[in-house]
Amino acid sequence: MIRFSSIRMAVCAAALLLAAAFSLSAQPLQLAHVFSDYAVLQRESQVPVWGWGVPGASVRVTGSWDGATARTTVADDGSWRVTLSTGPAGGPYTLTVQSGKERLTVGDIALGEVWICSGQSNMEMPMRGFGFQQVDGFREHLLEAEEYASRIRVFDIKADTTRVVQRDVENVWELSDPAVCAKTSAVAYLFAKRLTCNLGVPVGIVVNAWGGSRIEPWMTMEAVENAGISAEELAAIKELHEVAGLYPNGVASCWNGRMAPVAGYAAKGFLWYQGCSNIVQKCYDKLQAAMVRQWREAWGCGDLPFIYALLAPYDHSKAEGRWRPAFVVTQMHAQELTPNSYAVCLETLGDKVTIHPPRKQEVADMMALRALASAYGKEVGMPVDYPTPRSIEYLEDGRVRIRFNHVWSNLMSISARSIRGFELAGEDRAFHPAEAEVDWDGQTVYVRCAEVPTPVAVRYSFQNWMDANMQTSYGIPVPPFRSDDWPL
């Protein structure tokens, strides 16, 4: 009996091993989760579609918008990938995948515009807000959500961070009914709402934001090492990576678990709202440029538009501190390192007491205006570039005359001609609040300060929070600037 039991156990074990081996080789046909019901595929584009199956098996993928079929063979690692051509916006369509007797079909597919929306908590902040922090106008948007439910579709990634590259994320596309709208990134949703109204097509937003994350988790270590930063800066990042674990500072942790699984999903461009966690990092401009390079290479679609937000004012526990505006200047410089990238200025949209300002509609508007003008070539009826100083002159009467670019005779302030946010300093390098007013030409500002009769330096909005309010009459804020290079 003992011998018979041993033989039976050996046979059972062998059967289990065979079953396991068969199960591994007979991996069922799969589509990546990003190709689910309600997906938006980028219109008039070459759209990659991928999944997994039995190695060596043939796979046929058909889109009902034109009936064309793409064919491939499952690779040795069990993966497959094809490319489909999409036509004009429309739907509902189906996407069908067949391999042998296996067949997968996803429905209610829309052809439209797709944007990848990433960053940290200000991109993550949902329409319903955070605890004790609301989004302005959220009730209106929730009440209107049903009207936009099929026109705005959301793929909201909630995967964890990891040190190992993942092949998939277990999320699905959703129609943005009121319940989905409430939990979706306010900036991303409101951006999509502006696009669908202006373009008249469905808009899909891949929301991939992680509150508190630094920029380094969103790219690989190789990208960091090739960013052109100093040896000391690289060493500091690697040290932080070693002690940080996965959240929120481990290099590549967000890329591995959240971005790599959807890399290549055909899109029109990227939105990025991040920086608070890197706010004292002087090499941030190079890191952002390196991240964008990696993303574009992974998507394989050339220089996809990259639209990003400059940090809004907030006191950061010390309103008179100057690290926030210094960081914004670094963010602005990133545009020079990255073609087809565009910063949007939020200098009049901050809040002294919360790092999550409630005026998300205006943030989305800034991004939407830039996308419509630069990514779609639309005439938006107004200039969208933020003003910057063209010249600074110190006059004999003690005034400072500043002429601006990108104002088109329309430089104003929020409260008529009463401008806040300027400071002047003399040879003693002590800055004092200054008065300023716009000249009648609409392009020039005169600044004066009784405490500084002979100024040699001027700064604008160069504190963490000073309620600076200068903007164009079109509502485009003026970002921080300074004429000096003195240590902060």
- Domain of 99, CATH number, reads 2.60.40.10
In a domain, 102, yes or no: yes
Q: Which of 75, 110, 145 is the last residue of a domain?
A: 110
Could you give the CA distance from residue 388 to residue 268 in angstroms, rounded to a whole number?
28
Distances, alpha carbon 293 to alpha carbons 115, 213, 361, in Å: 17, 19, 29
Q: What is the pTM of this model?
A: 0.93
Could you give the CA distance from residue 341 to residue 226 in angstroms, rounded to a whole number?
19
Could you give the CA distance from residue 471 to residue 303 in angstroms, rounded to a whole number?
30
Task: List 343's β-bridge partners, or say none.
Answer: 308
Q: What is the pLDDT of residue 342?
A: 98
Q: Which of 110, 132, 156 is the last residue of a domain?
A: 110
Range of the domain at 469: 388-482
In a domain, 267, yes or no: yes
Q: What is the pLDDT of residue 23?
A: 42
139-186: per-residue pLDDT in tens? Answer: 999 999 999 999 999 999 998 888 899 999 999 999 999 999 999 999
- Same domain assignment for residues 428 and 353: no
CATH number at residue 201: 3.40.50.1110
DSSP character string of 286-331: HHHHHHHHHHHHHHTSSS--EEEEPPPP--TT-TT--HHHHHHHHH
**Residue ranges of the chain with per-residue pLDDT less than 50:** 1-25, 415-416
In a domain, 15, yes or no: no
- Same domain assignment for residues 395 and 405: yes
Q: What is the pLDDT of residue 414?
A: 52
DSSP character string of 359-423: -HHHHHHHHHHHIIIIIS----SS--SPPEEEEEEE-TTS-EEEEEES-TT-EEETBBTB---EE
Q: What is the pLDDT of residue 248?
A: 64
- Same domain assignment for residues 121 and 167: yes
- Same domain assignment for residues 437 and 358: no
Number of helices and strands (H, E) in the chain?
Answer: 11, 24
In a domain, 383, yes or no: no
The H or E element that residue 234 is part of is: helix 231-244
Q: What is the pLDDT of residue 26?
A: 56
- Same domain assignment for residues 45 and 176: no
309-344: per-residue pLDDT in tens? Answer: 999 999 999 999 999 999 999 999 999 999 999 999
Residue 249 in tokens:
């500072």
In a domain, 4, yes or no: no
Are 444 and 404 in contact, with CB atoms under 8 Å apart? Answer: yes
| Total domains in the fold of the chain | 3
- Same domain assignment for residues 98 and 40: yes
Q: What is the pLDDT of residue 245?
A: 62
